[in-house]
Structure 1
């Protein structure tokens, strides 16, 4: 039996929330992010995208592309609240929900709580409920697997819905350029182009052996998606592998005291997430980007999950000290914790570190 998968993707989510909450921003080019030369665009409204402004673009470049661009500081607590409202709507239809981020998720509605036979009607109803609840719009892709549902949701943005039926998947993929494929990044697409693979049809013409030779085990995945095949299930209980926080500073940091001060709010941000979710990790990681854009990461692991903020902070500061002094100023710092486990503190438990 063909599965019925929906991919829901909110339209310019962060920017749309800001335009909803501040009517003076509606219809204007908006970028969520810092406006300084060191700032980065986290999200751009559709009005800003017309000028070529995109997420992850430096604020300096974005302002040059769109002189009328309005920068708004991000309000992540608001975005998380709205995201929870949207997840609540999803849960009215199915328990099989795989969130990808705050603004997008896969839903398996093959068997659903509403006993509806049409996944397209479910997607339409979800979109309507999102508008009623949040005053925001979403785009939906409907298909028989995750890969195609994701492609479909991009096909009618914004506020659209597109369906790829079981007998349409292979032909749909054949006509797309590989750089439009979800899961094929810029570097991989360039490598494929060098091998004469420009479209899905080109990809399908290659043997699985050829693709595995050039792309390793991912070659089998590429072989299948070129034929509209994707057997990955919607993983409702998927646990994230890491949580982190980073900051690009308005000016370069040159002293150890400045760097430690810059790390404190990042450590606090990560630890708030750990205590709220009761999910802790065994590996602490420090990320440093210097002013010449060289980047290093350093990690240290414990035998058991790190359950105390003081210990997490101590590890991060030790990792920093091992790489200081440096003759290069620092433009970005980041901290993260990996190898996450759902756990609860055990009174009096001692942790031993691996060095």
Structure 2
């Protein structure tokens, strides 16, 4: 197999990566300043719960996200556990995004608590480091939440710079400083490097980025395929991915037109459930969360109505189904025949399913994971509700 040649780093780019410091904990501290400086853990509060986030004080005890709450309690018995409130976190996220949107020419909302800003070209008119510093200070002052940033030549390096200067830090790594910055770091620091890959490379004696960067591309391709080549590029400080302009219009949806106009409310509700299950699965497969749900109905006379609701960031069926049913109930009150219904999820950001543990039980979350696993193996239509199997559309 022919291994593609690597591109040279683009030294002309000016990319800022901004990341909130312990975001969920910081939002809780903003509400209750007595929590400041204490080991705070956000997530499931029962023994079967999972840590979703924790303060830097809690991290000193070895606590980290995705750790079972039971273990976290053993490591830090005096930790303060908070179930968390996704509505508060979503609101704070929107506040930060709105402020950044006012201040910069081009940015990408990478997740609920991090943004990439492309200042390329603007460096002819502004000192990018000074501009980023002033933006950070504005966020801290106006939003009241701590934030860190890294400035460098591409998204990967900028993110790694941020991670190294957190919490409450800022740093600029210029082109000639990229390799000296990357080389001594652990390969675990590379964004997107999973646990299995880390173990595999570590067993081979590849523990530092400098060692990884010296591996021949053909060897990396043999070991890990295309993902290995991508990893090698990152180790060399190469990342040509663009900052994707942020827009609240990003969405995913589906709609169904009936073969015959219908007024069967039970059937329509079941169809809406099936539609939600379909788009929610697609959402999770793309590792996305949504913050807005829209329901569309079209009457037999072709008149169309839509209704939407802002929600806390989520990707779980149960939350979305409840929202869709409520929207349909509020909207459909004319008792006229319908010819079409549809569901759309929008205001998407990158995020993890664990984020929804605040409002859902561990059992519900585990069920979603199990159903998704079946879909991946046997196809998206392998799992559906019995009530929608015989729908005639």
Query: Does the TM-score normalized on the shorter chain lie above 0.5?
Result: yes
- For residue 152 of structure 1, report the CA deviation from its aligned partner: 0.3
- In 1: Cα distance, 2:171 partner to 2:325 partner: 40
Range with greater deviation from structure 2 (263-272 or 182-191): 263-272
Q: Describe the shift of the 1:100–1:278 C-alpha distance in structure 2 as closer, same or farther (beyond 3 A).
A: closer
Which of residues 120, 128, 131 is equivalent to 1:110? 120
Which of residues 19, 29, 35 is equivalent to 1:19? 29
- For residue 159 of structure 1, report the CA deviation from its aligned partner: 0.6
Please list the CA deviations of residues 118-151 of structure 1 after superposition, one character each: whole Å capped at 9, or x if unmatched: 2211220121111111111101011001111011
Which of residues 152, 161, 169 is equivalent to 2:170? 161
Q: Write the mapping of 1:134-149 to structure 2, written as runs, cut at 5 A.
A: 134-149=143-158
Counterpart position of 2:142: 133
- In 2: Cα distance, 1:351 partner to 1:138 partner: 52
Please list the CA deviations of residues 266-286 of structure 1 after superposition, one character each: whole Å capped at 9, or x if unmatched: 63368899656389xxxxxxx
- In 1: Cα distance, 2:70 partner to 2:224 partner: 36
Q: Which has the higher contact order (CA 8 A, sep 6+)?
A: 2
Q: Write the mapping of 1:219-234 to structure 2, written as runs, cut at 5 A.
A: 219-234=228-243
Counterpart position of 1:76: 86
- For residue 116 of structure 1, report the CA deviation from its aligned partner: 4.3
Please list the CA deviations of residues 296-327 of structure 1 after superposition, one character each: whole Å capped at 9, or x if unmatched: 6233657xxxxxxxxxxxx6434999xxxxxx
Counterpart position of 2:385: 317
Q: Does 1:297 align with 2:377?
A: no
Q: Describe the shift of the 1:171–1:264 C-alpha distance in structure 2 as closer, same or farther (beyond 3 A).
A: closer
Please list the CA deviations of residues 167-201 of structure 1 after superposition, one character each: whole Å capped at 9, or x if unmatched: 11122221112111112122111111223322122
Counterpart position of 2:220: 211
Any stretches of 5+ residues in structure 1 without a counterpart? 247-261, 280-286, 303-314, 322-349
Which of residues 245, 256, 262 is equivalent to 1:236? 245
Please list the CA deviations of residues 3-25 of structure 1 after superposition, one character each: whole Å capped at 9, or x if unmatched: 10011110000011101101232
Where 1:7 maps in the other structure, the secondary structure is strand
Q: How many residues align?
A: 288
Q: Does 1:34 align with 2:103?
A: no
- In 2: Cα distance, 1:45 partner to 1:67 partner: 15
- In 1: Cα distance, 2:97 partner to 2:65 partner: 23
- In 2: Cα distance, 1:146 partner to 1:194 partner: 28
- For residue 351 of structure 1, report the CA deviation from its aligned partner: 8.4
Q: Compute the RMSD of aligned alpha carbons.
A: 3.4
What is the TM-score with the length of structure 1 in the denominator? 0.71
Which of residues 147, 171, 175 is equivalent to 2:180? 171
Which of residues 60, 76, 94 is equivalent to 1:50? 60
Is the CA contact 1:289–1:296 (under 8 Å) kept in the aligned structure 2?
Answer: no
- In 1: Cα distance, 2:13 partner to 2:90 partner: 29
Counterpart position of 1:307: none
Where 2:138 maps in the other structure, the secondary structure is helix
What is the TM-score with the length of structure 2 in the denominator? 0.65
Q: Describe the shift of the 1:180–1:320 C-alpha distance in structure 2 as closer, same or farther (beyond 3 A).
A: farther
Any stretches of 5+ residues in structure 2 without a counterpart? 1-10, 253-281, 290-315, 328-342, 349-363
- In 2: Cα distance, 1:320 partner to 1:14 partner: 38
More helix by share: 2
Q: Describe the shift of the 1:263–1:95 C-alpha distance in structure 2 as closer, same or farther (beyond 3 A).
A: same
Counterpart position of 1:277: 346
Is the CA contact 2:251–2:344 (under 8 Å) kept in the aligned structure 1?
Answer: no
- For residue 295 of structure 1, report the CA deviation from its aligned partner: 8.1
